[in-house]
A and B are shown apart, each in its own frame.
Chain A
Amino acid sequence: MTFKSKLGGALLAAVMSATALQGAFAADDTIKIGVLHSLSGTMAISETTLKDVMLMLVEEQNKKGGVLGKKLEAVVVDPASDWPLFAEKARQLISKDKVAAVFGCWTSSSRKSVLPVFEELNSILFYPVQYEGEESSRNIFYTGAAPNQQAIPAVDYLAKEEGVKRWVLAGTDYVYPQTTNKILKAYLMSKGVAESDIMVNYTPFGHSDWQTIVSDIKKFGSAGKKTAVVSTINGDANVPFYKELGNQGIKAEDIPVVAFSVGEEELAGLDTKPLVGHLAAWNYFQSVDADVNAEFIKEWHAFTKNDKRVTNDPMEAAYIGFNAWVKAVEAAGTTNTDAVLDSIIGVSVPNLSGGTSTVMPNHHITKPVLIGEIQADGQFDIVQETAPVVGDEWSDYLPDSKNLISDWRKPMSCGNFNVASGKCGGKGS
């Protein structure tokens, strides 16, 4: 009896707090924005940080007087790493909470799940994570890296600076690694790499037993040619992968690993001493030497009240997306979706690596590509920085998409314009 009544009480409290969170009817002098990141489940590990960044950015903006003279209010929902729930929560944010724009999603699956909702209800999503490309929506802005802003420059670096001739493309078995590896394989072969010098390997989510694969990589690497691993291994599986590399004695000098999903946050759970020299490619590292970055890190530490919290690339993408939206809203003088969609193209905002990022007509942004080597303190030492690169939504290396471009300016307003046939609407969405 007591047990049951306690359970009932807890349930009641949970329901009440949930309604308090969602049902807060805002006064007219606030603009609401949605934050759609998983706070529980498998993706919470990465997404919770982005929720915190959004709250910080909103707080900073309100200190500066808000937007259009109104205060911003963040509406936080928890889609719990459940892809269909993302769509449901997005619908709730747009129709019920009447948010002006939504910042959220991490995995491509969650983005694909909310895409039709944003198009149907005509709202705006800012997506802050590197992704596989092959998509362009009128209602989504991709502030993370497209493959040409991360994967291809990284491969170029390895080929040029390390003289790599043999490639292992290792990834987790889902859409981002598969598409990225398809693009990379086509790219490498266009550069004259033989197919026998490319090994592609996929593992399930959360794979934790890397013994066989690491020893296969070792075997593949002992063919007398300089070998490197291009890793699109996702999230949690990285820690045991790097541990196994360290234990089997694979040093970065022998077989370097360049990763696209390993940043400061992922390294925080790891002793990085055996990993010194392995690489990562991003558009931002915490170690970037720029005043704007130092300022951002200071604010972040103050906001989280923890001076050990690291910053990472998706945080920068969220920062750019948020500031671009603010600027576009101020230019349009309204939060109306169509007006903002028109005014945001061409908006330039400072990024955290000391330059500026511009929103392009294809709803991607310009940013430099940085290659960093892992240091013993879990930070990256930047060994190369390129000039700003325009995100390319339709890869030039895949036969299905090489003729497609995207331009959301009027009068074209098309996400998949086929330059060969001169018509809007080709393969892909």
Chain B
Amino acid sequence: MLIRLFSLIFLVLSFAAPSFAQNDPKPLIDALAKADFGEAEKLIGQLAATGDARVVPALNAFSEGDLYFRKSDNLVFIGKAAGSGYELIDPVTGVSVGQAAKNAVTKIKINNSLRRVIRSAMGGLTLMSPDRGVRLQAADAVLRSPSAENLELLETAIAKETDREVKARMEEARAVSLLSSDRSIDEKRAAIQTIKNYGGRNAIGILMGASAALDPSLKGDVDAAIASIESGQRLWDMAQNVWYGLSLGSVLLLAAIGLAITFGVMGIINMAHGEMVMLGAYSTFVVQQVIRENAPGLFDWSLAIALPVAFLVTGAVGLVIERGVIRFLYGRPLETLLATWGVSLILQQTIRSIFGPTNQEVGNPSWMSGSFPVGGMTITWNRLWIIAFSLSIFVALLVVMKKSSFGLNMRAVTQNRRMASSMGIRTPWVDAFTFALGSGIAGIAGVALSQIDNVSPNLGQSYIIDSFMVVVFGGVGNLWGTLVGALSLGVLNKFLEPSVGAVLGKILVLVLIILFIQKRPRGLFALKGRAVDA
């Protein structure tokens, strides 16, 4: 077998040398069928050396794990899942050659080091692609796994390149590749400058990695470049920390804002609050499940559809809890605490019985995945959306409380129940709907939290302590307090975390809050007036 393989490689190589384009890369690709990781690496190198753009789809499929060989004749194909089997596509011509059952083909194994080799090879092969996006990707690929072999290719590509952004990326890639080549010291010195101007964490990594193998006379240049990048990076790191803090704060805000109504405004110690968040997340799961089965095209809209569903579901559950349990317990906080805690256990176990104890997969729509760079920091889309989302919920809630007649009734009842009642407000219903509103908001928060956390029956438990912490810290009964409280706790946490670690950071925050509450028992923004004492 091995002999056959090697003779095959030899055969192909001897042909490949004089003219690339004439050759059929198919035998090389077919040799992948029986190659182990080491042999496959060599084969990829040879495929790349053909310089033939026709091998790109096969390499691409290989790195994605879509390359299969047929057991009957050991021929290699690109496999696409179709029905219960695979549709086999010729790796060179791209023509479909028909279906194959699952057990008639075997997937060709790939590991991380092969993926790296392929990435670098692909970069070299696609540098001249007519498509601007592909060229940019190719330059990125070479940048991430530089090798001196790509250097000449890069220089040819740079000479031909007209697009400014792609050209700049290629220049960077060239500089990085140049460091590991045998070019002159002056050229390397210039390359270090280029990398320095490129900046960012990656540049430091590249320079530190390359410095060991460089000529000793360049060491000063490398150190200077690293120092200069690091000083520029320091401010960005600070900004990044603030951003992380705001983003953690927005999650706290989301979790707490429903509680700010049920606990803050109504004074109910609602231990089932976390479970409302959990129900919201499960509503998202159910909505996505229905969409996946019936209208996959709508998937990117699933969160928008889940929002009203989650609000109504959790609002209704909240209404039932208020009517069924809490209304009998007004004025008895200790019993409310125990009863709502019991309710939370019942809800958890119900969900566990229906959906099972394991995590459910809630997908991220495409617009919530990935990240983009802003200067020297990275911003992930999901965090950006969650910040925007929690702020808009906050504003919406503020408008409801201050501008709508329901909000007016709500405030009237909480400020002076008997007076409101004698003005003709049906206080029991206002109570019920206020609690439903708080629960519904918690449900909406669950939709957002399903994007960053586990959707499991325990989801709520991890947020309940944090929520109470935020509301108590911010000042009971004050929405603005909740906002400021959440964001400042988030930022404080994120500034403590890098220096003392996540575990100690969390403890320190709790200790600080306890000390703060000693000083200001009513929180940051205490409500003034008789309402508080009533």
Contacts and interface: CB of A to CB of B under 8 A. Distances in A.
Given A247-B371, A277-B112, A373-B112, 10 more contacts: A204-B503, A212-B502, A218-B201, A243-B364, A243-B382, A252-B115, A269-B358, A269-B454, A269-B455, A381-B107
A356 interface: no
Which of A49, A204, A223, A252 is packed against the most chain B CB atoms within 10 Å?
A204
Interface string A25-63: 000000000000001111011001100000000000000
A40 B456 contact: no
A247 B369 contact: yes
B232 interface: no
13 contacts: A42-B461, A45-B359, A162-B113, A203-B503, A212-B244, A213-B497, A215-B378, A221-B205, A222-B204, A224-B212, A248-B378, A253-B116, A253-B119
B361 A268 contact: yes
A271 B204 CA distance: 32
B111 A383 contact: yes
A332 B180 CA distance: 68
B112 A252 contact: yes
B65 interface: yes
Contacts of A218: 201
Taking residues whose C-beta sits less than 8 angstroms from the other chain, chain A's interface range is: 35 or more
Given A202-B503, A243-B452, A211 B358 contact: no
B251 A247 contact: no
Contacts of B65: 276, 375-376, 381
A39 B348 CA distance: 12
B208 A223 contact: yes
A203 B361 CA distance: 23
B174 interface: no
Interface in B220-268: 240-241, 244, 247-248, 251
Nearest to A216: B498
A350 interface: no
Contacts of A236: 359, 454, 456, 458, 462
A206 B462 contact: yes
B273 interface: no
B198 interface: no
A256 B114 CA distance: 13
Nearest to B378: A248
A161 B111 contact: yes
Interface string B357-397: 11111011000011100000010111100000000000000
A373 B37 CA distance: 14
A290 to B, nearest CB: 15
A224 B454 contact: no
Contacts of B251: 208-209
A209 B360 CA distance: 19
B61 interface: no
A119 to B, nearest CB: 31
A333 B113 CA distance: 53
Contacts of A44: 352, 357, 457
Contact of B359 (A41, A208, A270, A375): A270
Secondary structure type dominating chain B contacts: helix
A253 B363 contact: no
Contacts of A216: 498
Contacts of B506: 204
Interface of A: 3, 39-42, 44-45, 48-49, 161-163, 173, 201-204, 206-209, 211-213, 215-216, 218-219, 221-225, 236, 239-240, 243-244, 246-249, 252-254, 256, 265-266, 268-271, 274, 276-277, 279, 373, 375-376, 381, 383
Nearest to A304: B356
B458 A42 contact: yes
A364 to B, nearest CB: 28
A265 B358 contact: yes
A215 B371 CA distance: 13
B453 A239 contact: yes
B383 A222 contact: no
A208 B452 contact: yes
Closest 6 CB pairs of A and B: A269-B359, A224-B209, A222-B205, A224-B208, A247-B380, A44-B357
Given A222-B201, A269-B454, A247 B381 contact: yes
A3 B324 CA distance: 8
A269 B205 contact: no
A239 B209 contact: no
B109 A381 contact: yes
A73 B210 CA distance: 65
Contact of B112 (A224, A243, A256): A256
Contacts of A211: 244, 247-248, 380, 383, 494
B129 interface: no
